[in-house]
């Protein structure tokens, strides 16, 4: 009897051991599976490196290492992959002379340093004079005669123009403070005029002054103004004070005032209907 009991006990012990073994195996399988699912990629990399480590070939490994470590720079080449993403547009470099912002909140303290060149007797920053000529020539080819009426302006000249405008308003009965505010909507106070940059021009139709006595918004309906708005970006210019941006620019709509910013920036600004402040993120 004792022998039979012992045999039974042994049988149970074997069964229990087998059962426990299977349970441990199952648990191990579960944990391994989970680990794979959660850390799949990291694990793969780990495996690669551990396998090469496991190969116990220290000699081939160390010469091979400098290669991957010197690679990282060319390896970041796969950037073409990010190219299909939405075009972020040209990079905006705040030190780019073409993107200088001069407005009521970004006044210059002293004259900018630049070389000049003249077009139709008006001064411009030498670097854009060629663009001004190209634009005028292209308009002529399309049958439109354009006349520049303002180019580079010194701070002294702005001082005089601003004072004259204030006097005009005061003559209409405005008090000094109101006259200054109203005048500033038409003539930028010294230091705040974009004409100081040598990158801006007021340009109208050749026969403008046979129809108008001053620069007026109605110019927008003239075919020359339509042509300018449609074609300015090709030569790197933008309509600087759009009709629907006066709240941001603080300047009245000026269908005659164009500003050079460079072709790539002009294209985006005109296509998206922005003003320069918006484009540069300087809207406060
Ligand atoms: Zn102007």
CATH number of the domain within which 144 lies = 3.30.1380.10
Q: Which residue has the tokens 């269908």?
A: 255
Does pLDDT of 52 surpass 80?
no
Whether 249 and 275 have beta carbons less than 8 Å apart is answered as yes
- Considering 194, 222, 224, 254, which one is annotated as catalytic? 254
Q: What is the pLDDT of residue 81?
A: 59
Whether 120 and 148 have beta carbons less than 8 Å apart is answered as yes
Does pLDDT of 172 surpass 70?
yes
Within a domain: 238? yes
How many angstroms is it from 267 CA to the middle of ligand 1? 20
Within a domain: 53? no
Grade residue 186 by pLDDT with cuts at 50, 70 and 90: confident
| Percent of the chain whose pLDDT exceeds 70 | 71
Q: Measure the CA–CA gap between 79 and 133, rounded to whole angstroms.
A: 39
Model confidence pLDDT, tens digit, residues 238-267: 999 999 999 999 889 999 999 999 999 999
Within a domain: 206? yes
Within a domain: 31? no
Does pLDDT of 73 surpass 60?
no
Q: What is the pLDDT of residue 55?
A: 41
How many angstroms is it from 103 CA to the middle of ligand 1? 12
Does pLDDT of 64 surpass 50?
no
How many angstroms is it from 215 CA to the middle of ligand 1? 10
- Mean pLDDT (whole number) for 60-88: 54
Beta bridge partners of 257: 202
Within a domain: 88? no
Q: What is the pLDDT of residue 16?
A: 75
How many angstroms is it from 92 CA to the middle of ligand 1? 24
Within a domain: 57? no
Select the more confidently predicted residue: 80 or 51.
80
Q: What is the pLDDT of residue 31?
A: 58
| Predicted structure pTM score | 0.67
- Mean pLDDT (whole number) for 185-199: 93
Structural domain of 124: 97-280
Q: Measure the CA–CA gap between 159 and 142, rounded to whole angstroms.
A: 38
Could you confirm whether 111 is annotated as catalytic?
Answer: no
Does pLDDT of 102 surpass 90?
yes
Q: What is the pLDDT of residue 28?
A: 63
Q: What is the pLDDT of residue 7?
A: 61
How many angstroms is it from 252 CA to the middle of ligand 1? 11
Whether 203 and 148 have beta carbons less than 8 Å apart is answered as yes
Q: Measure the CA–CA gap between 254 and 267, rounded to whole angstroms.
A: 19
Within a domain: 106? yes
| Number of separate domains in the chain | 1
Within a domain: 235? yes
Model confidence pLDDT, tens digit, residues 125-162: 999 999 999 999 999 999 999 999 999 999 999 999 99
Q: What is the mean pLDDT of the chain?
A: 83
Listed ranges 11-25, 60-74, 109-123; the one with the highest mean pLDDT = 109-123
């Amino acid at each position: 009897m004792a022998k039979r009991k012992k045999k039974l006990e042994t049988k149970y012990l074997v069964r229990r051991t087998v059962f426990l073994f299977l349970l441990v195996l199952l648990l191990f399988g579960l944990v391994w599976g989970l680990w794979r699912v959660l850390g799949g990629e990291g694990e793969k990399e780990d495996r690669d490196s551990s396998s090469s480590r496991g190969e116990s070939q220290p000699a081939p490994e160390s010469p091979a290492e400098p290669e991957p470590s010197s690679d990282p720079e060319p390896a970041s080449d796969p950037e073409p992959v990010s190219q299909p993403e939405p075009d972020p547009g040209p990079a905006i470099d705040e030190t780019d002379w073409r993107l200088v912002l001069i407005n009521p909140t970004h006044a210059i303290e002293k004259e900018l340093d630049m070389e000049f060149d003249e077009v139709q007797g008006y001064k411009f920053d030498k670097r854009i004079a060629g663009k001004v000529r190209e634009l005028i020539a292209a308009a002529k080819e399309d049958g439109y005669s354009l006349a520049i009426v303002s180019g580079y302006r010194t701070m002294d000249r702005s001082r005089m123009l601003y004072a004259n405008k204030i006097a005009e308003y005061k003559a209409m009965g405005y008090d000094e403070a109101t006259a200054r505010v109203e005048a500033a909507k038409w003539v930028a106070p010294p230091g705040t005029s974009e004409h100081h940059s040598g990158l801006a021009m007021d340009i109208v139709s050749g026969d403008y002054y046979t129809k108008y006595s001053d620069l007026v918004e109605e110019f927008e309906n003239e075919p020359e103004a339509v042509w300018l708005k449609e074609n300015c970006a090709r030569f790197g210019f933008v309509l600087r004070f759009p009709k629907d941006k006066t709240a941001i620019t603080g300047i009245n709509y000026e269908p005659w005032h164009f500003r050079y910013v460079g072709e790539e920036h002009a294209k985006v600004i005109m296509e998206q209907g922005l003003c320069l402040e918006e484009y540069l993120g300087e809207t406060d």
